[in-house]
Structure 1
Amino acid sequence: MHLIASASASFVTLLVISFIVLSLPVLISGSANDAADRVWPTKDGSPPKLYGHCGERFLMPEHTVASYEIAAIEGADYVEPDLVLTKDGILVCYHDLAMKRATNVADHPEFADRRGNHSVYKDGKPDVVVDDWLIIHFTLDELKTLKVKQQPDGVRPLYFNELFSIATFQEFIDAVHKVSAKENGRAIGIIPELKHPFFHNFVFNSSENFMEEEYLNVLRSNGFPLTQSDEGKCKGVVDSQGSTKDIPCGPLIFQGFDKPSQQYLAQQITLPEIMMNVHPDVYLLTPKGIQEIANFSDYLCIWKEFMYTGVEAEISYRGWQVDADLVSQMGGFLLPHQFVPFGHSLGLKMSLFTIPDSREHSQRGCAVECMDGLDRKNEMFYYFDMGIDSMFVENVPEAMRIRLEYESLLKNNL
Structure 2
Amino acid sequence: MRNYLQFNSSPPIIIAHRGASGFRPEHTLASYELAISLGADYIEPDLVCTKDGVLIARHENEISTTTNVAECLEFANRQTTKLIDGKSITGWFTEDFTLEEIKTLKAKERLPFRDQSFNNQFSIPTFQEIIDLVKVKSGEIGRSIGIYPETKHPTYFASIGLPLEEPLIEILHNNGYKSATDPIFIQSFETGNLQKLRKLTDLPLIQLLENFGQPFDLVMNGDSRTYQDLTAPQELAKIAEYAAGIGPNKQMIIPVDSDGKLLNPTSLIADAHAVGLLVHPYTFRNEKQYLARDYNDNPETEYEQFFNLGVDGVFTDFTNTALTVIQRIW
Fold match (TM-score > 0.5): yes
CA contact (8 A) 2:240 2:275 kept: yes
The 3-state SS of whatever aligns with 2:266 is helix
Candidates 276, 289, 292, aligned match of 2:238: 292
Asked if residue 223 in structure 1 is aligned to residue 176 in structure 2, the reply is yes
**In the superposition, relative to structure 1, how do residues 379 and 298 fare at CA in structure 2: closer, same or farther (>3 Å)?**
same
Name the aligned partner's letter for residue 307 of structure 2. Answer: F
> Residue in 1 aligned with 2:221?
none
Aligned length: 310
Name the aligned partner's letter for residue 300 of structure 1. Answer: I
Asked if residue 141 in structure 1 is aligned to residue 100 in structure 2, the reply is yes
The 3-state SS of whatever aligns with 2:117 is coil
CA contact (8 A) 1:41 1:386 kept: no
> Residue in 2 aligned with 1:197?
154
Candidates 255, 258, 282, aligned match of 2:190: 258
Name the aligned partner's letter for residue 159 of structure 1. Answer: S
Displacement of 1:288 in angstroms is 2.2
Rounded Cα–Cα distance in structure 2 between residues aligned with 1:373 and 1:355: 15
Displacement of 1:218 in angstroms is 0.7
The 3-state SS of whatever aligns with 1:92 is strand
Rounded Cα–Cα distance in structure 2 between residues aligned with 1:384 and 1:52: 17
Name the aligned partner's letter for residue 279 of structure 2. Answer: M
**In the superposition, relative to structure 1, how do residues 99 and 371 fare at CA in structure 2: closer, same or farther (>3 Å)?**
farther
> Residue in 2 aligned with 1:234?
none
State TM-score, norm by structure 1: 0.70
The 3-state SS of whatever aligns with 2:53 is coil
Q: Computing the radius of gyration over CA atoms, which structure comes out larger, 1 or 2?
A: 1
**In the superposition, relative to structure 1, how do residues 278 and 390 fare at CA in structure 2: closer, same or farther (>3 Å)?**
same
> Residue in 1 aligned with 2:30?
66
**In the superposition, relative to structure 1, how do residues 62 and 399 fare at CA in structure 2: closer, same or farther (>3 Å)?**
same
Displacement of 1:181 in angstroms is 1.7
The 3-state SS of whatever aligns with 1:118 is strand
Q: Deviations over 1:270-317 (max 9, x none)?
A: 2x221111113222122222121122111111000111227xx69xx9
The 3-state SS of whatever aligns with 1:251 is coil
**In the superposition, relative to structure 1, how do residues 361 and 139 fare at CA in structure 2: closer, same or farther (>3 Å)?**
farther
> Residue in 2 aligned with 1:56?
20
Gaps of 5+ in 2: 214-226
CA contact (8 A) 1:337 1:386 kept: no
Asked if residue 179 in structure 1 is aligned to residue 137 in structure 2, the reply is yes
Rounded Cα–Cα distance in structure 2 between residues aligned with 1:42 and 1:96: 41
Asked if residue 396 in structure 1 is aligned to residue 316 in structure 2, the reply is no
Displacement of 1:39 in angstroms is 8.5
Displacement of 1:384 in angstroms is 1.0
Q: How does 1:126-137 map to 2 (within 5 A)?
A: 126-130=86-90, 132-137=91-96
Displacement of 1:159 in angstroms is 2.7
The 3-state SS of whatever aligns with 1:336 is coil
**In the superposition, relative to structure 1, how do residues 153 and 108 fare at CA in structure 2: closer, same or farther (>3 Å)?**
closer
> Residue in 1 aligned with 2:42?
78
State TM-score, norm by structure 2: 0.87
